[in-house]
Amino acid sequence: MKFVSLIASAIHAASPSPTPIAVAGAGIFTSSLLMSLMIWVPVLMAAAIATLPNPRGRFDTLMKQIAFFTNLGLVFVLFVAYNQFQNFLPNMQYEEKVPWLPAIGAVYHLGVDGPGMVMLVLSGLIGIVSVLASLGIRERVRSYFCLLLLTQACINGAIVARDMFVLVLFWGAAMIPIALLILGWGGPRREGAAWRLVGYWGLGLAALVVAVMTLYSATGGTSFDMDVLLKSTLSPRIQLAVGVAVIVAAATRLPLFPLHGWARDVYADAPVGVAVVVASTASRLGAFLLLRVLVGAEPVAAQLLSPLVAALAALTVAYAGLAVLRATDLRQAAAYLALVPGGLTVLGLAALAPLALAGSVLSLFSGGLAAALIVGVCATLSDRAQSRSLHVLGGLAPRMPKLAWLMVLSALALLGVPLMASFLAEFMTFFGTFKNQPVGGFAVAAGLAITAIALAILLHRVLFGSPNPDAPGVSDASLGETWYLALLAGALLWVGIFPSGPKVPGTDLPLFDPGLVNTMGAGLPDLAAPYTGPTQ
């Protein structure tokens, strides 16, 4: 009853979104509950799947379709929200605010700004991709897709949360369905992978709780709202404590060296759809947290800790490249490669220059896609080649042309080759980094060079060269596999070629995409304001 009244009060009392000006796509769909839809629709559909009778797996396909069309619907809603998003407003948009636990000051407060919108777009894309990548699941389909939808809901909740209590809840809740998915449908070392995930992410959650409670008590202990906690002026000591805790939380999530122990086993042994979700949106939440809390709210701590953060970024990128050189398992190699985009994102956050921060936000999107692409391609390739061992695989390109091309594309995306979104992100990050963190910039560049060598060797071993006569039979990617990988690659290419969106010829009007780069700019100047120096 209480739950129903909560929903009813949410419907009646939610703050409406600001009225958008007429842009392409405006007026197609308006709702004051856009953000709640992104969270609770997957939960409702997960509940529907869970309660649907499925004798002897007769309705497995229907469940897959429910999951797919749920995500498709969310992408449609997201597309409209993206088009209606006001690029020049500095404040949160699509806000919803409902009092929830007044005794402790917790409010059901949701909203997005530019960086949040970028993360939501990524989440929407990955939602579709993860379902397509999971079409091969045959066992306990109902449970699988139910947990997948719950994962997506938790991640969306963590992105749009504007109350730290809500953020912590969703942050921690995301861990459970992911761990269950790995445990139930993973590879040979799934148990170790799942427990490692729980251990590291649990540590991160504990650190996040420490940070939140420190902020809460330092600001009077009346509210968990980010507008209160993150806009208060705190002493440098408090900021430093919060900063360190947030770095630990982020480092376990992204991950960053040396708190990366879960990544290898999780990416190598999780089912493909889960690995894609973890590699992209779930892990990018770490950098998103750093951006929101450390960079956006604790400027003194951010400046004090920036050398540490830059060092972690450089170590992560270098370590990832070197580890790939030693890898003997293809999926483990992909797991290490998936660490590289996170290092680049964090480098931009460490630089604390406006352009570097913008590059970091863009690399949340591009890095998430690139990491998902490399993990997905390698997982699919190892499935199709029936082996993960780099001693067995070899000369696959002529027999698996589609996967070969996709793997080359993923390698180019990781390295940040022009025409890819990661190129623009890398560009902006490096341009901004050399102002304040030149050593960190050089170190990450060196790590990227090592990664390039490692990728060249990996491509040579797996794709090129003469085929191994002792290897099992191989087959190229199926239509579904090609689709989900091509979606990832296509999104990277689209944003890389049209970062400001295509325009109606002869005008400045956006055609159907206002441009991710323009969208991410909303709120960015405010985030960067403490680090710009005096106007000249």
Partner 1 sequence: MAASGAATAARTGGFTFDPASTLPWAVPLMLVLPLGAFVLALSGVRTRRSAANMAMLGAVATLLDTLLVAWGLAKQTKPFLATYSYINLTVAFSGPVNFQGFVINVLLRVDHLTLVALLVVEICVVGALGWSRVMGRSEPAAARFYGLVSIFLFGCAGTLVSYDLAELFAFWGVTGAATYLLLAHRWGADEVSRSTRVALALPFLTDLFLLCGISVLYSRYGAQVLDSLIPVLHTTPNWTVRQLVVASILLFVGIAGRLALWPLQSWVTATAVHAPPAASAMTQASWSVLAIVVLYRVMPIFAASNVQTLRMCVYACAVAAVVAPVIALLGNEPRRAFARIGSGVAAVGAAVVIHGFGIPGSTFAVAGIACVLAAAPARTAAILAVSGISQAMRTDDMSEMGDAWRRMPASAIALLISGLVLGLSALGALTFAVQSRTWLGVALGEAVLLVSLGSLRIFLSTAIGPLRRRRAFEPDRVRDVPAASLGWPYWMALGGAVLAGASLVRGWLDYLDGNKHPAPSSGTYVLWLTVVLVGFAAAAIAYARNKDGALRASARIGALLGSLVGAGIAIVDRFVFSPVLDITGRTSEWVPAGDGELGRAAVASGRFAAALTRAPTLPLLILLAVLLAVVVGLLTPGVFR
Q: Please report, as ranges, the residues that interact with partner 1 according to CB under 8 A.
A: 192, 195-196, 199-200, 258, 260-261, 264-265, 319, 322-323, 325-326, 353-355, 357-358, 395, 397-398, 408, 412, 415, 417-419, 423-424, 427-428, 430-435, 438, 441-442, 445-446, 448-449, 452-453, 455-457, 460, 463-466, 499-500, 517-518, 521, 524-525, 528-529, 532-536
- CB nearer partner 1, residue 62 or residue 322: 322
User: What are φ and ψ of residue 198, in 5° steps?
Assistant: -65, -40
Closest separation between CB of residue 435 and partner 1, Å?
4
Closest separation between CB of residue 293 and partner 1, Å?
20
User: What are φ and ψ of residue 29, in 5° steps?
Assistant: -150, 120
Q: Do residues 466 and 396 make contact, with C-beta atoms less than 8 angstroms apart?
A: no
- CB nearer partner 1, residue 47 or residue 322: 322
Closest separation between CB of residue 84 and partner 1, Å?
20
Closest separation between CB of residue 283 and partner 1, Å?
17
Closest separation between CB of residue 124 and partner 1, Å?
22
Write the CB contacts of 378 (distance below 8 Å, at least 6 apart in sequence): 330, 331, 333, 334, 407
Instruction: For the beta carbon of residue 117, count every other beta carbon within 10 angstroms.
Output: 25
- CB nearer partner 1, residue 9 or residue 482: 482
Q: How many Cα atoms sit within 13 Å of 381 on the Cβ side?
A: 36
Write the CB contacts of 499 (distance below 8 Å, at least 6 apart in sequence): 421, 424, 515, 516, 517
- CB nearer partner 1, residue 172 or residue 432: 432
Q: Do residues 341 and 366 make contact, with C-beta atoms less than 8 angstroms apart?
A: yes
Nearest to 79 by CA among 36, 44, 34: 34
- CB nearer partner 1, residue 370 or residue 455: 455
User: What are φ and ψ of residue 347, in 5° steps?
Assistant: -60, -45
Q: Do residues 184 and 273 make contact, with C-beta atoms less than 8 angstroms apart?
A: no
Closest separation between CB of residue 415 and partner 1, Å?
7
Closest separation between CB of residue 426 and partner 1, Å?
8
The tokens of 1 are what? Answer: 């009853």
Cα–Cα distances (Å) from 226 to 12, 14, 237, 522, in that order, read 23, 17, 20, 17
Q: Name residue 5's amino acid.
A: S
Closest separation between CB of residue 112 and partner 1, Å?
18
- CB nearer partner 1, residue 8 or residue 419: 419
The tokens of 225 are what? Answer: 């709202």
- CB nearer partner 1, residue 102 or residue 438: 438
- CB nearer partner 1, residue 51 or residue 536: 536
- CB nearer partner 1, residue 402 or residue 435: 435
- CB nearer partner 1, residue 32 or residue 518: 518
Which residues, in sequence order, are bridge partners of residue 510?
Answer: 503
Closest separation between CB of residue 150 and partner 1, Å?
25
* Dist. CA 226–CA 250, nearest whole Å: 18
- CB nearer partner 1, residue 105 or residue 114: 114
Q: Do residues 332 and 295 make contact, with C-beta atoms less than 8 angstroms apart?
A: no
Q: Name residue 385's amino acid.
A: A
Closest separation between CB of residue 338 and partner 1, Å?
14
Instruction: For the beta carbon of residue 390, count every other beta carbon within 10 angstroms.
Output: 17
Closest separation between CB of residue 455 and partner 1, Å?
8
Q: Do residues 340 and 257 make contact, with C-beta atoms less than 8 angstroms apart?
A: no
The tokens of 478 are what? Answer: 């199926």
Q: Do residues 94 and 14 make contact, with C-beta atoms less than 8 angstroms apart?
A: no
Nearest to 339 by CA among 458, 453, 251: 251
Closest separation between CB of residue 299 and partner 1, Å?
13
- The full DSSP string for 216-232 is HHHTTSS--BHHHHTTS
- CB nearer partner 1, residue 40 or residue 442: 442
Instruction: For the beta carbon of residue 470, count every other beta carbon within 10 angstroms.
Output: 9
What's the DSSP call for residue 508? S
Q: Do residues 148 and 287 make contact, with C-beta atoms less than 8 angstroms apart?
A: no
